[in-house]
Structure 1
Amino acid sequence: MAILIILIFLSALLALLLYLGIVHINNPSKAKYPVNGVDVSAYQGQVDWDTLSSQDIDFAYIKATEGSTFKDSCFEYNWKEAGETDLRIGAYHFFSFESSGEKQAANFIDSVDVIPMMLPPVIDVEYYGKYQNEDDIDVVEIRAELRNMINILKEESGVNPVLYVSEETYNTIVAQEFSDCDIWYRSVYGKIDGELDWTFWQYSNRHRLNGYEGEEPFIDMNVFYGTKEEFESYGTQI
């Protein structure tokens, strides 16, 4: 009975530490993945980029837009301030299943000022709200609109956008259809399948760093699949 009580206590303690972001399920090898970065949105508030950038990170992706009209309230500030640090930065767009790819591309292009050495644009493809799985969408139509947005952003920036995906959206929407785009894969509860070809890996959504005080206490952490030298030239056609 004493052993059982101890095991229950230790399990509860581990769960609490995971919830509080003190310990983490994934801890990618720094030697294997030397390039680390964050992604932020208005949920982190107006970031103190001097403080954030000093914490062993190399890049930051910043939410710019969503759908055909929404603009992140902190993007303009974050884009300007982050651009004055040594970080490489990029902007991302949350893809809507209710707007055309053309209008969504226009919203992103209108919102993001091009700067030297910026990272390729990212299109975040996730299920959300009333769209919880492939049964809730017309997959063929969504793929067509996503392709339209990809083509427009490629023409505008000179590089293919990166597609941010969950396991669900990768398997049901993206896999086998968009091999021309690099993949940013979300896997916060385990490692990525060794057969999957990825460029960025979001390995945690419960990290805590200094430099932000928004309503979200945690920050997403990511790694780049490559060396620091490879990262320096990644997407530099922009």
Structure 2
Amino acid sequence: MKRQDIQPIYKRANKNRKLFFRWSLVFLIVLVIVGGGYTIYHFHREQLLKQYPVRGVSVSQTDGYIDFEQLKNDDYKFVYLKASQGSVYTDDSFSNNFQRSQGSQLPIGVYHVFSFSSSPASQFRNFVRQVGYDTGSLPIGIDVQPYGTYNKDTLNYKRVSKNLKLFISKLRNYYQRPVVIWTDKSIISGMDIQTNDNQQLWLNDGKLGKPNSDATFIFVDPNAAVKMDNQTAFLNESVFNGNESKWHRYLNQILSR
């Protein structure tokens, strides 16, 4: 082969090498930026979380076996157990979780997932059938979250607000216990949910380090890693909106009712 026939091959190979190194350098720079950004975000979040030393988790049958002693050893201070949903569904692990949780001496709460399509009366009956008087020591939780075709734009806020108030009224009359509504700020605004000693808030989209004066709890992480029998469970993590002294005062107020 003549030399002039070989030259273009070398030129193309050299060009490809330059392109490879150029794109490798770009990829490396992007990787460093992303990695550095994540590290900064993680550090910043950990610093914010230090302002909320009282952490807790909410669990359901999808989380598998829960070791409550392990949760306590991991410095979690409260647990909410899913009990029921709508007018028919009940959590298969509720009874077992509740019984085993009692030995841990952790403050326990139970919660119901509110349905926008079921009547307040039928949801109340479903909750009572499932829970009985195993309501724990914390306020009864009511999870009011958009789902399916129900979102902040399609919800009939007036009708849902009326049904939620009826459901809460039935719970309050039957159990004589406060409730805590776990929901988004848009739902709170749309339904004009008010707070008082008997009706508290659990913000689903509260910002750490920002004023959340009306919130009792703030949801912070849908995938908090917790070791369970040499396996890792990813649980919904929330924090109490206050320091440990405020937490103890809060518990004393709840338990004294």
Q: TM-score, normalised by structure 2?
A: 0.77
Structure 1 residues 155 and 224, CA, compared in 2 at 3 Å: closer, same or farther?
A: same
CA contact (8 A) 1:158 1:237 kept: no
Structure 1 residues 24 and 131, CA, compared in 2 at 3 Å: closer, same or farther?
A: farther
Q: Does 1:111 align with 2:130?
A: yes
User: Could you tell me how far 1:198 is from its partner in structure 2?
Assistant: 0.6
Structure 1 residues 116 and 148, CA, compared in 2 at 3 Å: closer, same or farther?
A: closer
1:146-185 equivalences in 2 (<5 Å): 146-173=164-191, 176-180=192-196, 181-185=199-203
1:89-104 equivalences in 2 (<5 Å): 89-104=108-123
Q: RMSD of the alignment, in Å? A: 3.1
Pick aligned residue for 1:199 from 205, 216, 227: 216
Q: Does 1:129 align with 2:151?
A: no
Structure 1 residues 14 and 169, CA, compared in 2 at 3 Å: closer, same or farther?
A: farther
Aligned-partner residue type, residue 209 of structure 1: V
Q: Look at both structures and tell me which one has the larger radius of gyration over its CA atoms.
A: 2
Say which is worse superposed, 148-157 or 3-12, in terms of deviation: 3-12
Pick aligned residue for 1:69 from 88, 95, 102: 88
Higher relative contact order, chain-length normalized (CA < 8 Å, sep 6+): 1
* Structure 2 stretches lacking a partner, 5+ long: 1-21
Aligned-partner residue type, residue 214 of structure 2: D
CA contact (8 A) 1:45 1:213 kept: no
Q: Helix, strand or coil: the match of 1:84? A: helix
Percent identical residues: 25
Aligned-partner residue type, residue 157 of structure 1: Y
The equivalent of 2:58 in structure 1 is: 39
Q: Distance in 2 between matches of 1:53 and 1:149?
A: 32
Which digits, 9 at most, give the CA deviation of each residue in 1:75-119, with x for residues without a partner? 111111112212100000100001111221221122114358611
Structure 1 residues 98 and 24, CA, compared in 2 at 3 Å: closer, same or farther?
A: farther
The equivalent of 1:211 in structure 2 is: 228
The equivalent of 1:9 in structure 2 is: 31
Aligned-partner residue type, residue 96 of structure 2: Y
Q: Distance in 1 between matches of 2:43 and 2:174?
A: 38
Structure 1 residues 234 and 184, CA, compared in 2 at 3 Å: closer, same or farther?
A: farther
Q: Distance in 1 between matches of 2:173 and 2:43?
A: 39
CA contact (8 A) 1:47 1:213 kept: no
The equivalent of 1:186 in structure 2 is: 204
CA contact (8 A) 1:117 1:236 kept: no
Aligned-partner residue type, residue 98 of structure 1: S
Q: Determine which structure has the larger helix proportion and give its number.
A: 2
Structure 1 residues 48 and 201, CA, compared in 2 at 3 Å: closer, same or farther?
A: same
CA contact (8 A) 2:195 2:214 kept: no
* Structure 1 stretches lacking a partner, 5+ long: none
Structure 1 residues 12 and 39, CA, compared in 2 at 3 Å: closer, same or farther?
A: same
The equivalent of 1:139 in structure 2 is: 157
Q: Helix, strand or coil: the match of 2:76? A: coil
User: Could you tell me how far 1:196 is from its partner in structure 2?
Assistant: 4.5
CA contact (8 A) 2:168 2:179 kept: yes
Aligned-partner residue type, residue 159 of structure 2: E
The equivalent of 1:221 in structure 2 is: 237
Q: Helix, strand or coil: the match of 1:123? A: strand
Q: Distance in 1 between matches of 2:173 and 2:36?
A: 48
Alignment length (residue pairs): 229
Which digits, 9 at most, give the CA deviation of each residue in 1:177-227, with x for residues without a partner? 333321001137x4375165110011111210112799x942111111232
